[in-house]
Amino acid sequence: MTDRSRPLPLLHGIRIPDYTIHTLDDEIRVDRLCVDLLRHLYQDLTVRGKMPARQAGAFCQGADYFLREFVVGGRHENLFALQAARIRQFAGHWYIIRTPEPNLDELRQILNGTAEFYLFLARQGLVAVDVAAAISSECSQLDYYRERIDDFWAIEDDGYEAWRQACPLEPAAD
């Protein structure tokens, strides 16, 4: 067994305050910490969960986009303090307006990975099981997100504001 094929140690010693973002240096540090967490997730899925590498990689890629682009880069929030409502704001608003061609297949991959990531954190005792379950539930609301995407493409005239208000996302704090 090579070093790369050994499972990484469990996430003991993680300090949740280390994921708080106040400055650009914090954001860069937390971004790197996210990459490490995703490596642990990949190992967990492939070794413990015996998931095929391609599927585990797709989950990690989806979680990576949500965490590093939205939570860390877009919202500057601690990923361990995430409220399930952020999933709806991401999938029903942010993803749609920030993606050149938002589509349900891509969004499904992101949401599946995000749900797996938070379930992994719950198994490690880093987030509450009920929080992970609520996040997973929001990730599964694909019919709602499909409707949001369809409604976005159907906007006419000055209908954007009504679309935006149906799933509002306040500006990120500076």
In a domain, 8, yes or no: no
In a domain, 171, yes or no: no
How many domains are contained in the chain? 1
For residue 118, what are the contacts with CB-CB under 8 A and spacing of at least 6?
82, 127, 131, 132, 135, 136
pLDDT digits (tens, 9 = 90+) for 143-159: 999 999 999 999 999 99
Domain that holds residue 130: 14-166
In a domain, 33, yes or no: yes
Residue 100's identity, in one-letter code, is: P
- Where helices occur in 17-141 by DSSP H, the ranges are 24-43, 53-64, 85-89, 95-98, 104-123, 129-139
Please tell me the distance from the alpha carbon of residue 97 to that of residue 91, in angstroms, as a whole number: 10
Angle of helix 24-43 relative to helix 104-123, nearest 10 degrees, comes to 80
Predicted confidence (pLDDT) at residue 4 exceeds the cutoff of 60: no
pLDDT, residue 127, reads: 92
Predicted confidence (pLDDT) at residue 6 exceeds the cutoff of 50: no
First to last CA, the chain: 47
In a domain, 173, yes or no: no
pLDDT digits (tens, 9 = 90+) for 108-136: 999 999 999 999 999 888 999 999 999 99
In a domain, 7, yes or no: no
pLDDT digits (tens, 9 = 90+) for 33-89: 999 999 999 999 998 878 899 999 999 999 999 999 999 999 999 999 999 999 999
* SS3 state at 3: helix
Mean pLDDT over the full length of the chain? 91
In a domain, 121, yes or no: yes
